[in-house]
Amino acid sequence: MLDKVEMKAIVEGLLFISGEEGIDEKQIADVLQIDILSVKDILRDLIDQYTDQSRGMQIVELAGVYQFTTKQDHAPYFKRLINSPNSATLSQAALETLAIVAYKQPITRAEIEEIRGVKSERPLQSLVSKLLIKEVGRVEGTGRAILYGTTKDFLDHFGLKSLQELPPLPEKDDDTSLEEADLFFQRFQQNLVDN
């Protein structure tokens, strides 16, 4: 049987891995194999600890689900991070890759590399970590390569309501069409940095 200190540590971990979806009391009780009253007691202790101590996180209950959130007092610092040059700008390789994904989605890494003519693993990882692209499926058959597509964050980042707002590519299928797409993304990105 786990003691209360161990159970609190496990609940902290459960709250962390549940992310934005959160976790409810019944799920915690099922995982720990304890009753709901004990879960309520553990959650109350954790909420008090995070409230009383100088911590950057807090535990909140929203619609019966508990989750970690940042504290409102720290919001200006989070905004600075989001608006910092490192998080706001994309490398040329990432912009090229993003343009290809935006116009050709769903698309595999191999197809992107064929268009770009160079390896694209790092730009793809960067775009996924910035939540601009995501896995949208898998190719049928051997290897089941990941198919990439853009996200809602991509639309928000570039101020688009839908993919239909992307500027049309010229009829001819050559490198200039992707260069124009790169310029489009660079202009939008510069506007975001300037504002």
| 50-90 tens-digit pLDDT | 987 788 899 999 989 999 998 888 888 877 776 655 555 77
* Residues 9 and 91 grouped into a single domain: no
Residues 6+ apart with CB under 8 A from 73: none
Q: Is 23 helix (H, G, I), strand (E, B) or coil?
A: strand
Integer angstrom CA distances of residue 101 from 12, 31, 97, 106, 122: 37, 40, 6, 7, 14
Q: Give pLDDT, residue 91.
A: 83
- Chosen domain end from 26, 41, 74: 74
DSSP 8-state symbol, 34: -
Q: Which residue has the higher pLDDT, 32 or 55?
A: 32
* Residues 67 and 88 grouped into a single domain: no
Q: What is the CATH number of the domain that holds 93?
A: 1.10.10.10
Binning pLDDT at 50, 70 and 90, where does residue 19 land?
A: confident
Mean pLDDT of the chain: 84
* Residues 89 and 185 grouped into a single domain: yes
* Residues 174 and 101 grouped into a single domain: yes
| Stated pTM of the model | 0.48
Per-residue pLDDT at 3 exceeds 70: yes
Within a domain: 42: yes
Within a domain: 63: yes
- Chosen domain end from 54, 74, 94: 74
User: Distance between alpha carbon 12 and the CA centroid of its chain, in Å?
Assistant: 21
* Residues 48 and 90 grouped into a single domain: no
Q: Give pLDDT, residue 195.
A: 46
Q: How many distinct structural domains can be found in the chain? A: 2
Q: Is 150 helix (H, G, I), strand (E, B) or coil?
A: strand
Mean pLDDT of 148-165: 88
What is the C-alpha separation between 115 and 174, in angstroms, rounded? 10
Domain housing 15: 4-74
Helices 121-129 and 109-116 cross at an angle (nearest 10°) of 120
* Residues 95 and 128 grouped into a single domain: yes
* Residues 96 and 171 grouped into a single domain: yes
Within a domain: 79: no
Q: Give pLDDT, residue 114.
A: 92
